[in-house]
Amino acid sequence: MLKQYYPPTELNGFISSILIIKKFTTPIKIFPGTGAEIWVSTKALRLSTDHHQQVNKYQLVIPRIDTFTAEPNHGKLMVLRVRHDAVRFLLPKRILTYTDIPTALADIWQDPWYKELSKSSFKGLLDCFNATKVSKQHQLVDDILAILYRNPTKKINDIADEMGYSARFIQKEFLKEYGITPKRYQINCRLEQLLKAMLAEQDTYRWLETGYYDQSHFYRDFKRYFTMTPSAFLKSHYSFFYNTKAKFPLR
């Protein structure tokens, strides 16, 4: 059974929620989105896309274009969801380095602080985030990301004009850090927001509130990115990973 928890107060600035499954017995699909996830299991865990796979107890997942599949291992599973605007300040390299590739945490950090996560000890994670954030300065891409996230339907040319840059420059800088175009990120934002609203209310007509003016366009996008229709998704066992209405304090 999956339960969703509020992160401890000290993690609120960069972790949005923590999911725990006591015994992982059902496959999970991780669809393209805007943030990142740290997966921690008591047993070796297989995460894969159509192009890559990784077997490790501690992994990073950043789905932007590809869908990830997590195979059941009958172990305890913890998933920490990293906020979209905090991912860059957690990772030592550019986000594109890890995008759409299941990555063992040992290949990212030499210090195995992440092993303490399985004991619900978050000091190492907090220290890692604080140290990395201090080493990285605020950049233009952070401003671009914030605007795209708040305005998932706004035209890139309009955003560029408001920021005083060319659309080409905006795209180049965004691609350099994130590995996807600003437009693709906007699509992920829109669909992610839609998915949350749709699952919360079991309503497939929430597309009207997320910038889709045509139902067929929404259905086409949804099926393309989630590999099934909205109604089929609501009925599928994959939706349980996203449909976590109740949230509990971790401590």
CA–CA distance, 201 with 7 (Å, rounded to integer): 24
Mean pLDDT of the chain: 91
Residue 134 has which token pair? 């201090």
- Structure letter (DSSP) for residue 63: -
Higher-pLDDT residue of 124 and 232 is 124
For residues 183 and 185, give the distance between their C-alpha atoms in angstroms, rounded to a whole number: 5
Nearest CA-CA partner of 24 in 168, 167, 237 = 237
Whether 58 shows a pLDDT value over 60: the answer reads yes
For residue range 157-173, list pLDDT tens digits in order: 999 999 999 999 999 99
Over residues 9-33, mean pLDDT: 94
Contact 56, 44 (CB under 8 A): yes
Question: Any residues with CB less than 8 A from the CB of 109 and at least 6 apart, and which?
Answer: 92, 128
Residue 194's pLDDT is: 81
- With a cut of 80, say whether residue 219 has pLDDT above it: yes
CA 178 to CA 197: how far, in whole Å?
A: 26
Mean pLDDT lowest among 70-79, 170-179, 221-230, 233-242: 233-242
Both tokens of 114, joined, read 């992440």
Residue 151 has pLDDT above 80, yes or no: yes
Contacts of residue 135, defined as CB under 8 A and 6 or more positions apart, other chains included, come to: none
Contact 46, 54 (CB under 8 A): yes
pLDDT (0 to 100) of residue 154: 92
What is the rounded distance in angstroms from the CA atom of residue 109 to the CA atom of residue 128?
Answer: 9
The fold of the 2-136 domain, in CATH, is Jelly Rolls (2.60.120)
Instruction: State the DSSP H helix or E strand holding residue 67, giving kind and residue range, or none if neither.
Output: none
> What is the dihedral angle through the alpha carbons of 56, 53, 33, 199, rounded to the nearest 10 degrees?
-80
SS3 209: helix
- Record the tokens describing residue 188, joined without a space: 């992920």
Using alpha carbons, select from 101, 146, 121, 100 the residue that is nearest to residue 18. Answer: 121
The model's confidence at residue 226, banded by pLDDT at 50, 70 and 90, is confident
Task: Inform me whether the pLDDT recorded for 99 exceeds 90.
Answer: yes
Alpha-carbon distance of 242 to 223, in angstroms, equals 17
